[in-house]
Amino acid sequence: MLPHLAAYFASRQLDASSFPYRLFSPGRINLIGEHTDYTGGYVMPAAIDKGIYFYARPIAEPVLRLYAADLQENAVLDLPVRGKSGQLWADYLAGIVDQFQQLGYVVPGLEIIFGGDVPRGSGMSSSAALEGGMAFLLNAVVEAELSRPALAQLAQRSSNTFIGVPTGIMDQFASLNGSAQGPILLQCATLDFHPINATLPGYSWLLVNSLVTHELGSSQYPIRVAECARALAALQSIYPGLDNLSAATLPQLDAVADTLDAVAFRRAYYVISENARVHRMAQALAEGEVARAGTLLNATHAGLRDDYAVSCEEIDFLHYQATEVFQGGHVAGARIMGGGFGGCTINLVRTSDVPALQAFLAEAYQDAYHITPEFYPVQIGPGTRWMSECVSTKYCAANE
Ligand code: GAF
């Protein structure tokens, strides 16, 4: 058990075995395909070994008795859920209850203790892990028997309608449907997916956490969604059969350039190019082409910085230092990962050069921003699971 969860259990003299529902809900990374999910495009995310651990048990009162160990906060929510609680973390759980209620299920009283090891604000989607874990839990409690893709859709609906943020489905889907075999190649319009092999011999995927998150992210995200919708509407006025923006081509975009504002044009240019890059990355990985994979990462970074405008100074610094300034080894490519405005970069680095890159970036970032970045080797794992089935994280012993 994670130390801070163990401390809480000890402080209340609770035994984990008195909680019959014990599950692990992972965070996610994304190799490529950023800001393409809500345009119906392709993404290449993976569930990771960091995530949220849930311990739940039925209680007699019709309430959700919640404890968030990471924040050391409690909440008690009346059932049935009728609206927001005023605590964002609790609302991520309440929103999932609301979705099950809308499907006609009666959610019984539950005590839920949870905590995790996903670095907050890192772009590894702790909120989707919270939603996905709660959906997985309630699916068992009310015996709904929804499939994992259906649970991801339910969690996305909760984000969109209850929380009120227009996110795509990538994060919840990756957390619930991840595979230990490798990242999944997911088509967000159809939810077709399969795992792929992202191992490039002699190279490693390394996350570098800038430890900054700029508030701008939450306000800009819905603006990007609206800009993409504007571009799609312009395209559909000439190509009525076009289902989504990611399915458009650059020549089609050129054909509507005169009717589209310049900002929406640039956003669409990025999305259409990024969707194509996901396919090229899948091919580069299958063929073991490190240089091509790195070039694609750098192109994504440039697109997110220049056309999609979701990067920030600190992240651009880490990208530039790793890909242009670092001399002590080989970095094939890197890019900002996740929604933007902070969080992590994902770097494709020659494995033997990882220590030198870390030392170099730590010093450069400290000199420039007085922050020591954090480094995490990418550890891909399966999606949400009961702890008894879960042997791939050190806090999830098979006997818990
Ligand atoms: C955030 C959203 F939640 C995802 O749906 C996705 O759009 C991502 O940003 C950008 O690729 O994590």
The answer to whether residues 86 and 211 belong to one domain is: no
Q: Which residue has the tokens 């996740």?
A: 338
The answer to whether residues 106 and 175 belong to one domain is: yes
Residue 59: give its domain's CATH number: 3.30.230.10
The answer to whether residues 180 and 219 belong to one domain is: no
Distance 335 CA to ligand 1 centre (A): 15
Tokens of 125: 């989607």
Tokens of 297: 């990462």
- Cα 195 from Cα 184, distance rounded (Å): 4
Spell out which residues line ligand 1, taking CB within 6 angstroms: 34-35, 37-38, 125, 167-168, 170-171, 338-339
The answer to whether residues 59 and 162 belong to one domain is: yes
pLDDT at 392: 62
The answer to whether residues 40 and 182 belong to one domain is: yes
pLDDT tens per residue across all 400 residues of the chain: 999 999 999 999 999 999 999 999 999 999 999 999 999 999 999 999 999 999 999 999 999 999 999 999 999 999 999 999 999 999 999 999 999 999 999 999 999 999 999 988 888 999 999 999 999 999 999 999 999 999 999 999 999 999 999 999 999 999 999 999 999 999 999 999 999 999 999 999 999 999 999 887 789 999 999 999 999 999 999 999 999 999 999 999 999 999 999 999 999 999 999 999 999 999 999 999 999 999 999 999 999 999 999 999 999 999 999 999 999 899 999 999 999 999 999 999 999 999 999 999 999 999 999 999 999 998 999 999 999 876 667 676 644 5
pTM for the model stands at 0.96
* Atom nearest to 30 CA in ligand 1: 11
Bond prior to 80 in cis (omega within 30° of 0):
yes
- Cα 290 from Cα 189, distance rounded (Å): 29
Distance 82 CA to ligand 1 centre (A): 27
The answer to whether residues 227 and 316 belong to one domain is: yes
Nearest residue (CA) to ligand 1, atom 2: 167
Could you say which of 37, 49, 171, 307 is catalytic?
171
The SS3 call for residue 181 is: coil
The answer to whether residues 172 and 215 belong to one domain is: no
Under a CB-based contact definition with an 8 Å cutoff, are residues 215 and 37 in contact? no
pLDDT at 14: 95
The answer to whether residues 318 and 270 belong to one domain is: yes
The answer to whether residues 118 and 234 belong to one domain is: no
* Atom nearest to 156 CA in ligand 1: 5
The model's pLDDT over 316-371, given as tens digits with 9 standing for 90+, comes to 999 999 999 999 899 999 999 999 999 999 999 999 999 999 999 999 999 999 99
Number of domain units in the chain: 2
Residue 253: give its domain's CATH number: 3.30.70.890
- To the query of whether residue 171 is one of the catalytic residues in this protein, the response is yes
- ipTM topping 0.90: yes
The answer to whether residues 214 and 358 belong to one domain is: yes
The answer to whether residues 138 and 221 belong to one domain is: no
* Atom nearest to 168 CA in ligand 1: 5
Q: Which residue has the tokens 């801070």?
A: 4
- Find the domain containing 239 and state its range: 203-377
* Atom nearest to 128 CA in ligand 1: 3
pLDDT at 216: 76
Nearest residue (CA) to ligand 1, atom 1: 339
Distance 33 CA to ligand 1 centre (A): 10
- Cα 365 from Cα 58, distance rounded (Å): 48
The answer to whether residues 218 and 331 belong to one domain is: yes
Mutate to test the pocket of ligand 1, among 48, 122, 156, 167 (most ligand atoms within 8 A of CB): 167
